[in-house]
Structure 1
């Protein structure tokens, strides 16, 4: 990934937070037909001695050939907030007109070797954690135990666990760090007033506060 120094994010906790908030990753590998990608919701766990940047865990359908690629080198892409930036938000637009549009975004790329875990209890524990996390904000959260046990047992046989100890983690926050403080504030305020741009505005404000 092209990485200008101003856009590089190296804080593990910040990258983990983006993955946790945007858990649907695109897992890329080299398959029989060349590059292939699977879109999978992951959980991210803290670093371990064998995984200095954390561990990604998920499950896939048994019919998906991905789980048979045990040991394969893979990359998982996570897309955070992103939005179009209009030149109208730059002070220079009124002075000289020498500005152009751009696109701001935050992404994380995780690299590592795929591990297959064909263990029903491991998969059940994972499914329960994922369910509890994503149902936690609901007034009446659904739980795996709400489904009939025989039904759950049948479904567990149809899925396989995977995990990826992360050997390399890259974060790119392209959020106009090269602009002036005035432009940065104008962009954040302008984005905050739009439905699609509000998440990016919050990310920009968080970055500016921590910088």
Structure 2
């Protein structure tokens, strides 16, 4: 990932926070048939390995897991993002030498990929993933709310994914390369947006 020094995110705890906050990742593998990419909910187990391990599952019908992977897998997590209009820059009034851009946060994790179909491991992954996303609900649904034989049949239709993270890269592009007046203009402009993600970006701009 191309990351100018001003936008580099090196804080591992901040990168982990972005991974945990992302509700969906893009899981990418390179193969002799070309690249495969599948949108997947993944969860991070920080207790495993030096940089943690990602878990998830794919449909058994998905050819990505059957096609031998060349090198590492790649998981791409996106945080808040927003379009930035040059109209918000103070520099526009001074010189007019401004162009549009995009502010965003992203984390990319790479590592060796393992696919598995062991029912016990699959149930563990499905249960942990479900608990993660159901926990905030007032009345949470649990895997064991469904009949055991039904869950067993559903597990036969998926394949587990385990990717040990060996390389972690983060990028936070939040107008750090602009002067203070320009940053303030962007923050004010985005804070007035109706889009929640725009207001989230506004709060992250250093002013």
Normalised TM-score (structure 1) = 0.88
Q: Could you say which residue in structure 2 is the equivalent of 1:54?
A: 52
Q: Could you say which residue in structure 2 is the equivalent of 1:171?
A: 170
Is the counterpart of residue 199 in structure 1 residue 193 in structure 2? Answer: no
**Displacement, 1:52?**
2.2
CA distance in 2 between partners of 1:130 and 1:21 (Å): 13
Q: Could you say which residue in structure 2 is the equivalent of 1:156?
A: 155
**Displacement, 1:47?**
5.4
User: Relative to 1, partners in 2 of residues 1:47 and 1:91: Cα closer, same or farther, differing over 3 Å?
Assistant: farther
Q: Tell me the alpha carbon deviations over residues 73-123 of structure 1, each in whole angstroms, 9 at most, x when there is no partner.
A: 211111221111011211111222221111111111111110123221221
How many residue pairs get matched?
Answer: 204
Q: Could you say which residue in structure 2 is the equivalent of 1:103?
A: 102
CA distance in 2 between partners of 1:76 and 1:164 (Å): 9
RMSD over aligned Cα, in angstroms?
Answer: 1.9
Q: Could you say which residue in structure 1 is the equivalent of 2:22?
A: 22
1:33-72 alignment, distance < 5 Å: 33-46=33-46, 48=48, 51-68=49-66, 69=68, 72=71
Q: Is the 8 A contact 1:70 1:115 kept in 2?
A: no
User: Relative to 1, partners in 2 of residues 1:72 and 1:158: Cα closer, same or farther, differing over 3 Å?
Assistant: farther
Deviating 4+ runs (over 6 angstroms): none
Q: Is the 8 A contact 1:86 1:100 kept in 2?
A: yes
CA distance in 1 between partners of 2:37 and 2:168 (Å): 18
CA distance in 1 between partners of 2:170 and 2:179 (Å): 22
Is the counterpart of residue 112 in structure 1 residue 111 in structure 2? Answer: yes
Q: Is the 8 A contact 1:70 1:116 kept in 2?
A: no
Q: Tell me the alpha carbon deviations over residues 47-88 of structure 1, each in whole angstroms, 9 at most, x when there is no partner.
A: 54xx32221110111222333447852111112211110112
CA distance in 2 between partners of 1:201 and 1:56 (Å): 30
Query: Which structure 2 residue ranges, 5 or more long, are not aligned?
Result: none
Query: Which structure 1 residue ranges, 5 or more long, are not aligned?
Result: none
CA distance in 2 between partners of 1:15 and 1:156 (Å): 31
Q: Is the 8 A contact 1:71 1:113 kept in 2?
A: no
